[in-house]
């Protein structure tokens, strides 16, 4: 019996285009003998279309989802939703909440883990509570910045420059600045506040950027760490997406004990937020071999050449196997949850 997968792509966030590339890769990797794919494009405006026809997802009568053609065309029963959406409204628990309401299995982290993974401030506070090493940071909101910017300047000065200023809930390096001196802080915070009213001012870490892929629920497959090589000052938008500017070397060139520590901390970070399905943990290894956990992406970039599938390949899991296991894990979770009395 084939499993019908609703592939959600595009989305309302500034990572719309990245999502389209990721979704193309996933669709090509899904074995057509096992899976029937129904692609749905979420437009930047928020409307959904399938084959250029407006559609919406609703609850079916049989514990499945149903894709409804809003112009009166045929409906399609949906077994699993695969959100290949990056950033706000896709990776932050919003679409996961819709799937929970409808009662249809979906790939990846649940509502809470998605929301925490999306919010760099929330993630850091949970990670810190679990004893994981994270960079010092000062949290700013549009209100606190308007009322109290001099106190914030003092707190940042005490932490020490340079700092990175970033919107708490975004990705792809959008809205992020590296700030070398106090007189540049105001401009950087103003930029970041355009993207989110929650902004982190974070101590700059000097070290090698590393990434670890994780797949699984109760049992985890943890990839070897990869190291990101680039010529720019930091891993900004151009460096991430213009071809040839950055390279991921897998495995990272690290002593065995540091590799092990990176993998243990990545798994601990994954567990700390209750992540499920998949996650990519990014961090730094400092020159003295220390490890800093930076962020956890619950729907990492997913083109066949993206970091996450490459890391999983290094862990022995091919791209087609990866997407098939993610679908299997979504179905298994839904079955587990069906037995809960709520
Ligand atoms: N505290 C920091 N120290 C050093 N570099 C940082 C720091 N925060 C961010 N960066 C740089 O900015 C990039 C993007 O920041 P990150 O927090 O990973 O946000 P995004 O979700 O946009 O990827 C990082 O890959 C790194 O190059
Ligand atoms: Mg990042």
Q: Based on the domain organization, do 30 and 87 belong to the same domain?
A: yes
Q: Based on the domain organization, do 199 and 214 belong to the same domain?
A: no
Structural domain range at position 127: 117-133+206-333
Q: Based on the domain organization, do 64 and 181 belong to the same domain?
A: no
d(CA 121, CA 125): 6
Q: Based on the domain organization, do 210 and 320 belong to the same domain?
A: yes
pLDDT of residue 18: 87
C-beta 202 within 6 A of ligand 1: yes
d(CA 316, CA 302): 17
C-beta 276 within 6 A of ligand 1: no
Q: Based on the domain organization, do 211 and 199 belong to the same domain?
A: no
Q: And the tokens for 291?
A: 């490890």
Ligand 1 atom at minimal distance to the Cα of residue 234: 27
Percent of the chain predicted with pLDDT > 70: 100
Rg (CA), the chain: 20
pLDDT of residue 305: 82
pLDDT of residue 120: 97
Q: Based on the domain organization, do 94 and 185 belong to the same domain?
A: no
Q: Based on the domain organization, do 230 and 199 belong to the same domain?
A: no
pLDDT of residue 149: 86
CA distances from 320 to 103, 225, 307 (A): 26, 21, 15
Is 77 among the domain residues?
yes
Q: 324 CA distance to ligand 1 centroid (A)?
A: 31
Q: Based on the domain organization, do 125 and 248 belong to the same domain?
A: yes
Helix axes 307-314, 319-338, angle to 10 degrees: 90
Q: Based on the domain organization, do 80 and 174 belong to the same domain?
A: no
Ligand 1 atom at minimal distance to the Cα of residue 172: 22
pLDDT of residue 304: 82
Q: Based on the domain organization, do 22 and 70 belong to the same domain?
A: yes
Q: Based on the domain organization, do 121 and 79 belong to the same domain?
A: no
Ligand 1 atom at minimal distance to the Cα of residue 205: 3
Catalytic site positions: 15, 172, 241, 280, 282, 295, 297, 301
Look at strands 226-230 and 208-216 and give their pairing.
antiparallel
- Give the residue whose CA is nearest to atom 1 of ligand 1: 204
| Distance separating the N- and C-terminal Cα atoms of the chain | 30
Percent of the chain predicted with pLDDT > 90: 83
Which residues of the chain are modeled with pLDDT < 50?
Answer: none
Is 214 among the domain residues?
yes
Domains held by the chain: number: 3
Beta bridge partners of 95: none
């Amino acid at each position: 019996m084939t499993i019908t997968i609703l592939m959600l792509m595009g989305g309302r966030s500034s990572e719309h285009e990245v999502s389209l590339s990721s979704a193309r890769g996933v669709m090509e990797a899904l074995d057509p003998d096992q899976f029937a794919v129904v692609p749905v494009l979420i437009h930047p405006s928020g409307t959904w279309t399938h084959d250029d026809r407006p559609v919406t997802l609703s609850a079916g009568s049989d514990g499945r989802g149903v894709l409804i053609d809003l112009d009166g065309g045929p409906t399609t029963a949906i077994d699993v939703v695969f959100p290949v959406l990056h950033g706000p409204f896709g990776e932050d628990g919003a679409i996961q909440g819709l799937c929970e309401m409808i009662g249809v299995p979906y790939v990846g982290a649940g509502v809470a883990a998605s929301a925490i993974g999306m919010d760099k401030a929330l993630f850091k506070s949970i990670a810190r509570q679990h004893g994981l090493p994270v960079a010092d940071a000062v949290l700013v909101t549009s209100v606190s910045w308007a009322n109290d910017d001099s106190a914030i300047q003092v707190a940042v000065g005490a932490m020490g420059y340079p700092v990175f200023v970033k919107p708490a809930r975004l990705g792809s390096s959008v809205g992020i600045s590296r700030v070398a001196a106090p007189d540049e802080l105001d401009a950087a915070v103003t930029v970041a506040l355009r993207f989110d009213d929650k902004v982190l001012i974070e101590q700059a870490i000097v070290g090698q950027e590393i990434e670890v892929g994780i797949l699984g629920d109760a049992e985890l497959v943890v990839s070897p760490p990869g190291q990101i090589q680039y010529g720019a000052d930091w891993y900004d938008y151009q460096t991430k997406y213009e071809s040839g500017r950055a390279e991921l070397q897998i495995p990272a060139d690290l002593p065995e004990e540091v590799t092990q520590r990176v993998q243990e901390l990545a798994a601990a970070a994954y567990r700390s937020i209750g992540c499920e399905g998949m996650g990519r943990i990014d961090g730094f290894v400092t020159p003295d071999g220390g490890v800093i956990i930076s962020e956890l992406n619950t729907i990492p970039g997913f083109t066949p050449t993206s970091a996450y599938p490459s890391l999983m390949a290094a862990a022995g899991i091919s791209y087609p196997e990866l997407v098939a296991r993610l679908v299997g894990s979504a179905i298994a979770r839904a079955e587990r949850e069906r037995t809960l009395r709520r």
